[in-house]
Amino acid sequence: MPIKLKIALYIALLSLILLSYSFVAKTLYPTAPEIELPEYGIHHKNIGLLVKKNDPLSMQTAEIYQKERGIPTENIFYLDLPDEANISPEKFNQLHQKLTQKAGDRIQAFVATWQAPYRVNCMSITSALAFGYDKHWCQASQKKCLPTPNSTYFNANIDTPWSTLKIRPSMLLTGKDISEISSLIQRGVESDATRPKANAYLINTTDAARSSRKVIFKKFSENFPKNNLLEIHFLDATNEEDDESIAFKHNILVYETGLASVPYINTNHYLPGAIADHLTSFGGQGLSEEGQMKAFRWLEAGVTGSYGTVVEPCNFVQKYPNPSIFIPRYLRGETLIEAYWKSVQQPSEGLFIGEPLAKPYDLLQVSTLGGTLTIATNRLKAHKKYQLLEWNEKEQRFQKIPANFRSSRLGNETIIQAKNTYSKKYKLIEIH
- pLDDT by residue (tens digit) across 67-78? 999 999 999 999
Q: 295 Cβ partners below 8 Å, 6+ apart? A: 277, 278, 283, 284, 306, 307, 308, 351, 353
pLDDT over 80 at 13, yes or no: no
Rounded Cα distance between 88 and 92, Å, is 6
Q: Would you report the helix, strand and coil content of the chain in percent, each value rounded to 5?
A: 30, 25, 45
Sign of CA dihedral 211, 244, 323, 62: positive
**Per-residue pLDDT at 240:** 83
**Per-residue pLDDT at 11:** 47
Rounded Cα distance between 218 and 396, Å, is 57
Q: Are strands 76-79 and 47-52 parallel, antiparallel or unpaired?
A: parallel
**Per-residue pLDDT at 148:** 94
3-state secondary structure of 183: helix
Helices and strands in the chain: count of H runs, count of E runs: 10, 20
**Per-residue pLDDT at 241:** 86
Q: What is the mean pLDDT of residues 120-127?
A: 97
pLDDT over 90 at 24, yes or no: no
Phi, psi of 287 (to 5 degrees): -95, 5
Give the pLDDT confidence of 223-250 residue by residue, as tens digits: 999 999 999 999 999 998 899 999 999 9
Domains of the chain, by residue range, sit at 1-29, 47-354, 363-431
**Per-residue pLDDT at 31:** 78
**Per-residue pLDDT at 290:** 93
The answer to whether the beta carbons of residues 272 and 304 sit under 8 Å apart is yes
Burial of 420 (0-12, 13-18, 19+ CB in 10 A): exposed
Query: Of 294, 269, 279, whose CA–CA distance to 204 is shortest?
Result: 279
Rounded Cα distance between 206 and 190, Å, is 36
**Per-residue pLDDT at 113:** 98
Inter-axis angle of helices 214-223 and 323-331, nearest 10: 40
Cα 264 to the center of its chain, rounded Å? 25
Rounded Cα distance between 37 and 380, Å, is 8
**Per-residue pLDDT at 140:** 57
Residue 151 has what DSSP assignment?
P
Total length of the chain: 432
Q: 30 Cβ partners below 8 Å, 6+ apart? A: 368
Q: Which residue has the higher pLDDT, 10 or 180?
A: 180
**Per-residue pLDDT at 3:** 55
Q: Are strands 34-36 and 425-431 parallel, antiparallel or unpaired?
A: parallel
pTM for the whole structure:
0.91
